[in-house]
A and B are shown apart, each in its own frame.
Chain A
């Protein structure tokens, strides 16, 4: 999954594309799973939530970002947020 933030400052001006390679997030998170997984479990138990449910909903939220599009334009500023 890749996210992109595109910002255009003028109607005919230059557009900046800022790619957010979300798939690389896993490369960072996976080696640290031994650290953050127990932390998630402990926090879930403290909050009286089921850890497995917390993980599945988190995964569904991340997967649900695909195809999300947000465009905000006002005056000379045009901001796009896209997830592919």
Chain B
């Protein structure tokens, strides 16, 4: 029983409202609850399971039209990122050092399989649109998941 309904019953017990009024108040509260729950239901976004990462490049260069159309299964990306866990510790130190020199403070030893899963899963929300218009070249790049 929620707080509002309890208050109505207390008002009824104290004689502040009669049974008829209490019933109408409770009915009004139930109607509000139904409206709230339906609005919450409509706000919940359907969870779409993405399967592929798409990279589309469409453009015109001096030599003619250029087209790149890549569809990478996310399953392959998952397996690919797991390869990072196979990097030997000596090599990891070298990679970490190289990253640090480039200003990226990333420690490969700290990357756990769960992090990689999250990384690949979050790719589903990725959408990149790049339009390049040069004097002679035009290029349109789209990266998204489907």
Q: Does B46 contact A (CB under 8 A)?
A: no
Chain A 64-84 near chain B by CB (<8 Å), digits 1 or 0: 111111111111100000000
Chain B, interface residues (CB within 8 Å), range: 20 to 34
Interface size on A, residues (CB 8 A): 22
- Whether the Cβ atoms of B63 and A64 lie closer than 8 Å is no
Please, how many angstroms separate the alpha-carbon atoms of A12 and B48 in the complex?
39
Tell me the minimal C-beta distance from A43 to chain B in angstroms. 11
Interfacial chain B residues near A71, Cβ < 8 Å: 67-70
List A contacts of B77 (CB < 8 A): 64
Contact A49 B86 (CB under 8 A): yes
Q: How far is the CA of A60 from the CA of B82 in the complex (A)?
A: 10
Q: Is the CB of B75 within 8 A of A75?
A: no
Q: Do the beta carbons of A67 and B52 come within 8 Å of each other?
A: yes
Instruction: Report the bound CA distance from A61 to B91 in whole Å.
Output: 21
* Of the residues A54, A64, A66, A74, contact of B78 by C-beta under 8 Å: A64
The answer to whether B68 and A57 touch across the interface, beta carbons within 8 angstroms, is: no
CB-CB under 8 A from A35, the residues of chain B are none
In the complex, which residue of chain B has the Cβ closest to the Cβ of A80? B69
Q: Do A60 and B75 have beta carbons less than 8 Å apart?
A: yes
B89 at the interface (CB under 8 A from A): yes
Q: In the complex the two chains form, is B69's CB within 8 Å of A49's CB?
A: no
On chain A, the residues within 8 Å of B66 by CB distance are 73-74
Q: How far is the CB of A21 from chain B (nearest CB, A)?
A: 19
Per-position contact with A for B60-83: 1 when CB-CB < 8 Å, else 0?
010111111111110111111011
Residue A53 lies at the interface, judged by CB distance under 8 Å to chain B: yes
Question: Are B89 and A64 in contact (CB-based, < 8 A)?
Answer: no
Q: 6 nearest interchain CB pairs?
A: A64-B76, A60-B79, A71-B69, A73-B67, A69-B71, A75-B64
Given contacts A47-B88, A61-B80, A70-B71, 16 further A-B contacts (CB under 8 A): A47-B86, A53-B86, A60-B75, A61-B76, A61-B79, A63-B79, A65-B73, A69-B71, A70-B69, A71-B69, A71-B70, A72-B68, A74-B64, A74-B66, A75-B63, A75-B65
A/B interface sample: 24 pairs, CB < 8 A: A47-B86, A48-B88, A49-B88, A53-B86, A57-B86, A60-B75, A63-B79, A64-B75, A64-B76, A64-B78, A64-B79, A65-B73, A67-B51, A67-B71, A69-B71, A71-B68, A71-B69, A71-B70, A72-B68, A73-B68, A74-B64, A74-B65, A74-B66, A74-B67
